[in-house]
């Protein structure tokens, strides 16, 4: 696909990956639908006479808002070639301490919001027999860490949905890539994160509390560059070999190598038992 002919639709465009991607697209004269719950987030962009950008108010947890945003985008550009599901936020706290209402609200954005966007945009992509969907999941969609169990669960859910979706829409020329970042200098561990009440003292000085504190302290000092990530996202779409998974950043890459090794070690250690569970294998267990 030729990027200069693509129309991009970016959710969660006010900060972080979304904002840097919008800026990079505009610098390359690539049309983009820039969305945010509050359009004032784009006031500092020098875009008064730029016909390549359409600013649209969007709340991905509101189906009417989603459908309206897509309709406005199609009215302006007649097509949407690339959907970037970037809207989302973090939630930390041990599983036992986490508040169900807050967790469900996070799922409404991180999982159901992305799902609603996908379902709203698929019809036009199917009609055009081409399209790309980039889901900003997380390395937390591939592995898990203490204090972020429910956040990891929301991203694991999106990973699973995306892998099934990729098989379903391949006949229509639509490609799916899960973007799986580690620590990047975004608002994720700052303004875009909420925490459970630390109500159980037994979790003090445990990995759950220690990892949560370390993560929050690192906000604004992460090594990952959202500006460089934006360049990589555009390169992915312009590639003939677009991956299902894009491990984003050195930190995520190294951690995923360890995760893969741990899975392989478990498989090999228990391979005999795993492979003797069919009818006819009864003698193995005597």
Catalytic residues: 151
The DSSP string of 15-76 is SHHHHHHHHHHHHTT--EEEEESSGGGGTTS--TT-TTEEEEE--TT-HHHHHHHHHHHHHH
Of 34, 15, 40, 43, the residue nearest 184 (C-alpha): 15
With a CB cutoff of 8 Å and minimum separation 6, the contacts of 180 are 137, 138, 139, 141, 142, 245, 246, 247, 248, 252, 256
Q: Which residue has the tokens 């954005």?
A: 109
Residue 71 has a CB neighbour count (10 Å cut-off) of 12
With a CB cutoff of 8 Å and minimum separation 6, the contacts of 247 are 139, 142, 180, 253, 256
């Amino acid at each position: 696909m030729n990027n200069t002919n693509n129309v991009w639709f970016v959710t969660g465009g006010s900060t972080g990956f979304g904002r840097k991607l919008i800026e990079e697209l505009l610098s390359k004269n690539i049309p983009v639908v820039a969305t945010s719950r509050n359009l004032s987030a784009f006031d500092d962009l020098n875009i008064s006479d730029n016909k390549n950008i359409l600013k649209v108010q969007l709340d991905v947890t509101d189906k009417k808002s989603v459908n309206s945003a897509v309709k406005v985008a199609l009215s302006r550009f007649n097509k949407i070639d690339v959907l970037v599901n970037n809207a989302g936020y973090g939630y930390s706290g041990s599983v036992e301490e986490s508040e169900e209402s807050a967790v469900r609200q996070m799922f409404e954005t991180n999982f159901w919001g992305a799902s609603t966007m996908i379902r709203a945009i698929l019809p036009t992509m199917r009609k055009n027999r081409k399209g790309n969907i980039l889901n900003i999941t997380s390395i937390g969609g591939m592995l898990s860490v203490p204090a972020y169990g429910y956040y990891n669960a929301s991203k694991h859910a999106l990973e699973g949905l995306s892998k099934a979706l990729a098989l379903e829409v391949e006949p229509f020329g639509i490609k799916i890539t899960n973007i799986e970042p580690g620590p990047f200098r975004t608002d994720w561990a700052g303004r875009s994160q909420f925490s459970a009440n630390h109500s159980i003292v037994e979790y003090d000085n445990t990995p759950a509390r220690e990892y949560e504190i370390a993560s929050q302290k690192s906000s604004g000092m992460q090594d990952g560059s959202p500006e460089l990530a934006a360049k990589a996202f555009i390169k992915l779409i312009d590639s003939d070999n677009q991956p299902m998974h894009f491990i984003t950043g050195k930190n995520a890459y190294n951690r995923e190598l360890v995760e893969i090794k741990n899975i392989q070690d478990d498989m090999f250690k228990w391979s005999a038992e795993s492979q003797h569970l069919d009818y006819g294998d009864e003698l193995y267990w005597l």
